[in-house]
Amino acid sequence: MLKRVQHDKKKYVIPNLFRNLEFENYNELIAFVLISERELYKKMKVPFFDLNSQFSSIEEEIKSALDEVFKTQQFILGPKVEALEQTIAHYCQTQYAIGVASGSDALLLSLMVLGIGKGDEVILPPFTFFATAGVVSRLGATPVFVDIDPDTYNIDPSKIEEKITSRTKAIIPVHLFGQCADMDPLLELARAKNLFVIEDAAQALGSEYKPHPHSDGRRAGQMGDLGCFSFYPTKNLGAFGDAGMVVTHNADLAEKIRILRVHGSQPKYFHKWIGINSRLDAIQAAILLVKFRHLEKWTEERQRKAKRYGELFQDLLSSMHGLLLPMIQYKNRHIFHQYVIRVQERDRLRQFLMENGIGTDIYYPLPLHLQECYSFLKYRRGDLPISEKASEEALALPIYPELTEDQQTMVVDRIKAFYRK
């Protein structure tokens, strides 16, 4: 990306993105790059995500919701959090929802409430965000990784049984990129083996599994014992900071999580269990309640963009070996938190797109079984080949409700240009 200027070997230039700006020396250039990282994203013709556009469209609604909170001066839990809990419980077709400080804490509290800890094993896919496994380790339990299905990137249920031991306590399927994992065989196995199921639905609010001709599918989060959501700012329903939620049909588990999220205290200052501080705050809840009013419309927009990507890529699909578009299993309701394609020469393509002002991202560049912190588990490259291959080929393209048709056309045109070269 960085080139020396032809007419002056002492000068450097960054082509394209900075309109060939020239620098006197390398240090000057590095200083510029550091300061300009944020500017760079502003200059992107198609940023990978664009929270500013979303905010502009709801700015007044957000400000008046925040004003309400400021007037009450009640910032931790309280009526806004309760209203959000009811809204999410209803949306997820569950009876209970408990607001917590993040998606990671939703997973942590779910494991805690089930009493999972030292000596226990928990089965999960390695192709996910670190939190799915990190929380298991944090409690002294061992993550046991099971490879994914190559088409959906979700845990392959047919590979779970061989990993179950007398120590296995739970399975955490992750509904990656906004599509539900294949839950029927997984739930059947869990029932037969007496295992808990915690859904990591951090990326899947509103996604549905296996609709039938005369009925909608089951919502993510309500199929297992507990479902965990993240409202990280770039999620389909994103807060202005960290926030998360656990949903469940089980009144006892719900009640216990409510207690665990306030250090296990009930009544105040009397501690029934050793919990953590993981309270959702009223400001985040107020923002999420405003954004929730737009969620269905935004989801439909994401689905429309995904369909259009499919149409724009049609000719390349037949001519280009190795290009794969997202696959929708069982006519699931995919909410397209991410639109992930698979390509050869992924890293070179990503660099080329960046030089052309198009942001992309890689979920995930290194599967969890090969992470340095898990070297003690003694997995080797080749043990979970489908996840490993996906981590070399998967590329997430921009997808958000505000993405324009022109921007989308530009993304696909540039990808075509790269493979024509």
Ligand X SMILES: Cc1ncc(COP(=O)(O)O)c(C=O)c1O
**Rg (alpha carbons) of the chain, rounded to whole number:** 23
Q: Which residue is nearest to ligand X (CB)?
A: 103
Residue in the block written with tokens 């007419």 = 7
Residue nearer to ligand X on the CB measure, 54 or 230? 230
Taken as a whole, the chain contains a residue count of 421
Residue nearer to ligand X on the CB measure, 356 or 391? 391
Using CB under 6 A, list all residues that contact ligand X: 102-104, 128-129, 131-132, 174, 200, 202-203, 230, 232, 242, 244
Least CB distance to ligand X at residue 229 (A): 8
Residue nearer to ligand X on the CB measure, 230 or 356? 230
- Which tokens is 40 given? 């760079």
Residue nearer to ligand X on the CB measure, 113 or 131? 131
Contact call for residues 380 and 32 (beta carbons, < 8 A): no
Please, what sign has the CA dihedral across residues 270, 273, 278, 281?
negative
Q: If DSSP codes are grouped into helix, strand and coil, which group holds residue 278?
A: coil
Least CB distance to ligand X at residue 136 (A): 12
Residue nearer to ligand X on the CB measure, 168 or 203? 203
Closest by alpha carbon to 247, among 77, 99, 76, 79? 99
Least CB distance to ligand X at residue 288 (A): 12
Distances (CA, A) of 336 to 7, 213, 397: 47, 22, 11
Least CB distance to ligand X at residue 120 (A): 19
Contact call for residues 353 and 360 (beta carbons, < 8 A): yes
Residue nearer to ligand X on the CB measure, 132 or 222? 132
Element (H or E) spanning 200, and its range? strand 196-200
What letter does residue 215 receive in the DSSP assignment? B
Distance of CA 399 to the CA centre of its chain: 13
Least CB distance to ligand X at residue 242 (A): 6
Closest by alpha carbon to 147, among 377, 395, 383, 380? 383
Residue nearer to ligand X on the CB measure, 103 or 221? 103
Q: If DSSP codes are grouped into helix, strand and coil, which group holds residue 125?
A: coil
Rounded Cα gap, residues 107 and 139, in angstroms: 11
Rounded Cα gap, residues 160 and 182, in angstroms: 12
Contact call for residues 393 and 346 (beta carbons, < 8 A): yes
Residue nearer to ligand X on the CB measure, 129 or 209? 129
Least CB distance to ligand X at residue 176 (A): 7
Residue nearer to ligand X on the CB measure, 298 or 363? 363
Rounded Cα gap, residues 86 and 51, in angstroms: 26
